[in-house]
Structure 1
Amino acid sequence: MNDRPVLNKHLDGDTFRSYYYLKEELTAFCRQNGIPASGGKLELTDRIAHFLDTGEISAASKKPKTKPVYTEITEDTLIEPNFVCSEVHRAFFQSRIGSGFTFLVPFQKWLKTNTGKTYQQAIEAYFQIQQDKKKGRTAINRQFEYNTYIRDFYAENTGKPLEDAIKCWKYKKSLPGHNRYEKSDLHIL
């Protein structure tokens, strides 16, 4: 069932990209070959594919470290460039939204892409994101292939146990190509 090639220097980038590897496997490969092992799964995948195709080691992208600009935030304060979630921000949002406030990923993305808007607008966006979340499916980021697969499996196979979904996932990730759920994956059961 597992015809996936071992991740080593002899693979080419296209073959490597056509199979699913865990982040732990990617970081181990990077460390063994002197490739920077920091960053997310997508960044590691790009770095490894480049290495396999060219033999060159790509540097990790450096994100500028920024310190929080504000020590006090009000509703009229503008969202700063290079927004970073800090305790000052958390305290502000908890005081306005309530103790149940958390920096949800969609809200963090909203904050980072809405520089110059007010924190009052951010509060409104938070409540809108919460409402949207209750109404339907939330977007799953591209690097979370397993979560996407399991959600899509259940959307078409209501009532099937998680064990069946996992068995289909293990089969799917052993194949070359995409890792999205397809009805034909059920033949493994």
Structure 2
Amino acid sequence: MNRPQLDKNLDEDIFRDFYYLKEELVAFCKHEYIQATGSKEELTNRIAHFLRTGEKLKVNKKRKIKNDISSLSLDGKIEENFVCSEVHRAFFKENIGNTFSFNVKFQQWLKQNSGKTYKDAIDAYYKIIEDKKQNKTTIDKQFEYNTYIRDFFDDNKGASLKDAIKCWKYKKSLAGHNRYEKEDLRTL
């Protein structure tokens, strides 16, 4: 079965069986006047609910707490409801170097460790980077493409990115999961 067009008459189960880009989900939401913000998973659940019930879910917007931080120090405490701001980015780049980036693990650490110092955060960052070098990292669920490509290369040493992408495009056109399987190579 080829991937069906995403429209308001699509069955919820068929919708969930196929892969849609986030930009397709956003376009559908805008067309149907459904809130079009949030993660891919949130959009998918909102659309599935709409396809099942015809009801457009109201989403409560999370109130962001603004950080009015003009000066950070190593002894300063990580605030509650931490937000990765440009001020924080500049601080960490100054203390870690230009290679610094707010990777997912570090963002999670910051959000879970309010009250600890920025020195603790820098130490945690270095540990996260070291762990990343030593171990295969977990890719979050919403990054199906990244997971697929990594698993493709794990199973096909020396293969080309062009082949990996061709297999990915084949896989996402099928109903069901989007995880790499050896059988996907038949498309090459």
Q: Which TM class, normalised by the smaller chain length?
A: over 0.9
The answer for the alignment partner of 2:124 in structure 1 is 125
Unaligned runs of 5+ in 2: none
| Percent identity of equivalent pairs | 61
**TM-score normalised per structure 2:** 0.92
CA displacement at 1:122 relative to structure 2: 0.6
Contact 1:38 1:60 in 2 (8 A): no
Unaligned runs of 5+ in 1: none
The answer for the alignment partner of 1:106 in structure 2 is 105
The answer for the alignment partner of 1:183 in structure 2 is 182
Greater shift, 63-72 or 49-58, is seen at 63-72
Give secondary structure in 2 for the equivalent of 1:103: coil
Greater shift, 31-40 or 79-88, is seen at 79-88
* 1:70-120 Cα deviation digits (max 9, x unpaired): 332222322111101223322322232223322222211211122222212
Give secondary structure in 1 for the equivalent of 2:77: coil
* 1:133-164 Cα deviation digits (max 9, x unpaired): 22232222211111110110000001112222
The answer for the alignment partner of 1:161 in structure 2 is 160
The answer for the alignment partner of 1:10 in structure 2 is 9
CA displacement at 1:61 relative to structure 2: 4.1
Greater shift, 107-116 or 20-29, is seen at 107-116
In the TM superposition, structure 1's runs of 4+ consecutive aligned residues that sit over 3 Å from their partners are: none
The answer for the alignment partner of 2:35 in structure 1 is 36
Aligned partners of 1:28 and 1:70: how far apart in 2?
36
Matched, 1:172 2:171: yes
RMSD of aligned alpha carbons? 1.6
Aligned partners of 1:61 and 1:75: how far apart in 2?
36
Aligned partners of 1:97 and 1:37: how far apart in 2?
36
The answer for the alignment partner of 1:86 in structure 2 is 85
The answer for the alignment partner of 1:63 in structure 2 is 62
Contact 1:39 1:60 in 2 (8 A): no
Shift of the 126–6 alpha-carbon distance from structure 1 to 2, 3 Å rule, reads same
CA displacement at 1:31 relative to structure 2: 1.0
Shift of the 131–71 alpha-carbon distance from structure 1 to 2, 3 Å rule, reads same
